Structure 1
Amino acid sequence: MTTGYEPLNTLKPIGPDIWIVDGPAIRFYGMPFSTRMTVVRLANGDIWLHSPTVFDRALADQIQALGPVRHLIAPNWIHYAHIADWQAAFPDTVAWAAPGVEERAETRKIEMQIDYDLKLDKSEKPWRAEIKQMVVQGSRIHHEAVFFHVASRTLILTDLIENFERENLPWWMRLFAGPARIMDPDGQMPRDMRMTFRGNMPKLRAAVERMIGWQPERIILAHGRWYNTDAEAELRRAFRFVLK
């Protein structure tokens, strides 16, 4: 299945010591979702993988050529399914998971060894000087860890914004994506996710304002077209429902 982001399973540099990997589409609620992993090389040479895509041996070899793979990031309760395969290939890795990931994996009987939970507001020691982070508060269900790679001024999100391009979707998914508010050029937080923040919008607003305060230049998304420029304007556009 083509995704519109070919070539897949290959490193694509976007800034100093940061790459993206567009992975194959997966089925989620019966719909094809494009996938994207972010790869960061830390100052000590260690490799940090955010939201690992389907494991591919040739891709793993490309990444290993950059440095030793040490950190696997499961940023929310949906983006964890391939951690176990990457751990099996790189047994010296540490898996870091947002709140809710471990419980979801256990429910679905997916074996993954989580060594550390992501903290709420402080970056973990291995990348504290290089990648800022927080877990967005306010949702009854969705606790997503977001990251900011300082050297490249890159904000790394997962599902808080989805931005599917019309031409990359089957016709029947276009009917869903528009009302769900996840269609480019006005991709936003999916409508069902937004409802889980009901009653706690001030917490979401504080998180968005903190992201804006990091002054990112670009935003990587896991699904759909990501933003290589005008990051602050895109944040204000996508989250206008809570910033107004």
Structure 2
Amino acid sequence: MTDTGYEPLDTPKPVADEAWIVDGPAIRFYGMPFSTRATILRLANGDLWVHSPTRLSEDLAAQVAALGPVRHLVAPNWIHYAYVGDWKARFPKARTWAAPGVADRARKHGAFADYDHLLTRTPPPDWAGEIDPMIVRGSSVHREAVFFHRASRTLILTDLIENFEPAKLPWWFRLIVPLVGVADPDGKMPRDMRATFRGHHDQLRTDVETMIGWGPERVILAHGRWYDRDGTRELKRAFRFVLP
């Protein structure tokens, strides 16, 4: 699958002040085509913070370098780490950050696993006051770090919500996404992931309420259509299964 419906690919696209997305090529996961998306934030000191790096080409590297020095590379969960090593090789001064479980899985698959820092629920000095991090609790498997960029009021998720637009998918994948619960306009947490939170909805609810309390204007997702407006409303819709 070449086209994703989110072209142009491999180029930074502004979405808010000091915030860009990079739509990457589709990748195969369990045989299904997933569009990919990175998010780039520019911190107050000019440093760039890159979330879930996508495929890196020389042209993309040059475009990113023109925005500022890459200083932070973030692997937000145990699935989104594949290209961190390529970015680290191209931008060796960048520090690498990983959610719990990322380094172990990357090591098992022979991928880059030498991360500098483990992400926690406490903002590190590097971006304290600018980006609020949180490791979402409650799953027996999925430990995802989410981030709120205060300046642009942008919430950055990875897989906790997926929102595939059927018109952009192969015909056979269009049949699957509604069954999994990830079809636009009602994209939400995939059913298999949701099952891993069983028995711990209280923890998930608390963390979702924290995200809602941040009052995001937009919510960026790694897969499918992201929400460029009404971010808080979209959170309440997508997580209605856990909210009172």
What is the TM-score when the length of structure 1 is the normalising length? 0.98
Per the alignment, residue 97 of structure 1 pairs with: 98
Structure 1 position 153 matched with structure 2 position 153: yes
Paired amino acid for 1:19? W
TM alignment of 1:124-143, pairs within 5 A: 124-143=124-143
Consecutive aligned runs of 4 or more in structure 1 exceeding 4 Å deviation: none
SS of 2:67 mapped into structure 1: coil
SS of 1:78 mapped into structure 2: coil
Give unmatched runs, 5+ long, in structure 2: none
Structure 1 position 33 matched with structure 2 position 34: yes
Q: Provide the C-alpha distance between the structure 2 equivalents of 1:124 and 1:164, rounded to a whole number of angstroms.
A: 33
Paired amino acid for 1:109? G
Q: Provide the C-alpha distance between the structure 2 equivalents of 1:30 and 1:199, rounded to a whole number of angstroms.
A: 30
Q: Deviations over 1:87-143 (max 9, x none)?
A: 111111111000000010111111332000001x21121011110110000000100
Q: Provide the C-alpha distance between the structure 2 equivalents of 1:57 and 1:202, rounded to a whole number of angstroms.
A: 45
Q: Is the 8 A contact 2:84 2:112 kept in 1?
A: no
Q: Provide the C-alpha distance between the structure 1 equivalents of 2:55 and 2:32, rounded to a whole number of angstroms.
A: 17
Per the alignment, residue 20 of structure 1 pairs with: 21
Q: Provide the C-alpha distance between the structure 2 equivalents of 1:220 and 1:111, rounded to a whole number of angstroms.
A: 25
Q: Provide the C-alpha distance between the structure 1 equivalents of 2:55 and 2:240, rounded to a whole number of angstroms.
A: 33
Q: Deviations over 1:50-101 (max 9, x none)?
A: 0000111111111111111010000000000100000111111111000000
Per the alignment, residue 144 of structure 1 pairs with: 144
Per the alignment, residue 112 of structure 2 pairs with: 111
Q: Provide the C-alpha distance between the structure 1 equivalents of 2:147 and 2:89, rounded to a whole number of angstroms.
A: 25
Per the alignment, residue 173 of structure 1 pairs with: 173
Q: Deviations over 1:22-76 (max 9, x none)?
A: 1111110011100000000101111100000011111111111111101000000
How many residue pairs match? The answer is: 243
Per the alignment, residue 74 of structure 1 pairs with: 75
Q: Provide the C-alpha distance between the structure 2 equivalents of 1:111 and 1:77, rounded to a whole number of angstroms.
A: 13
Could you tell which deviates more after superposition, 69-78 or 105-114?
A: 105-114
Per the alignment, residue 218 of structure 2 pairs with: 218
Q: Is the 8 A contact 2:162 2:189 kept in 1?
A: yes
Q: Provide the C-alpha distance between the structure 2 equivalents of 1:240 and 1:19, rounded to a whole number of angstroms.
A: 29
Per the alignment, residue 184 of structure 2 pairs with: 184
Give unmatched runs, 5+ long, in structure 1: none
Shift of residue 208 of structure 1? Answer: 0.4
Q: Provide the C-alpha distance between the structure 2 equivalents of 1:201 and 1:241, rounded to a whole number of angstroms.
A: 9
Q: Provide the C-alpha distance between the structure 1 equivalents of 2:59 and 2:243, rounded to a whole number of angstroms.
A: 43
